[in-house]
């Protein structure tokens, strides 16, 4: 299985109402390639099956979605709100919504 597919599998494990950071996701993959994880997302061959909108930056910002345009960011933000996540000033409470893979 390629690195990307592992990212997708792991990302699909993330429950609704929770989010993960690129770093945490990479850590769960037993690696530190958080940047490569982002690449895997933009490739996104599995489209809506993989909740790439649940993946955000470690600083609490949304990161990117289809592009780095604010408009698309709004869309991602809206999806997260639909999950029950509250965003404050385009920032998310990591300690509250960050999902941990290992336990």
Partner DNA sequence: TATTTGACCAAGA
Partner DNA sequence: ATCTTGGCCAAAT
> Where on the chain is the footprint of DNA (CB under 7 A)?
2-4, 21-23, 31-36, 38-44, 52-53, 55, 57-59, 63-66, 68, 76
- Concerning whether 7 is annotated as a catalytic residue, the answer is no
CB of 85 to DNA, least distance (A): 15
CB of 87 to DNA, least distance (A): 15
Which residues is 87 bridged to in the sheet?
A: 92
In degrees, rounded to 5, the angle at the alpha carbon of residue 41 between the alpha carbons of residues 13 and 12 is: 10
Among 7, 11, 26, 52, which one carries the catalytic annotation? 52
User: Taking a C-beta distance cutoff of 8 angstroms, is the pair 16, 84 a contact?
Assistant: yes
Which residues are known catalytic residues? 52
């Amino acid at each position: 299985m390629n690195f990307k597919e592992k990212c997708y599998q792991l990302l699909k494990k993330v429950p609704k109402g929770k989010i993960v950071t690129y770093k945490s996701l990479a850590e769960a993959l037993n690696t530190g390639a958080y940047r490569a994880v982002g690449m895997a997302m933009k490739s996104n061959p599995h489209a809506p099956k993989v909740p790439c909108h649940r993946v955000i930056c470690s600083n609490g910002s949304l990161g990117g979605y289809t592009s780095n345009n604010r408009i698309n960011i709004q869309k991602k933000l809206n999806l997260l709100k639909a999950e029950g996540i509250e965003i404050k000033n385009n920032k998310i409470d990591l300690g509250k919504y960050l999902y941990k893979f290992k336990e």
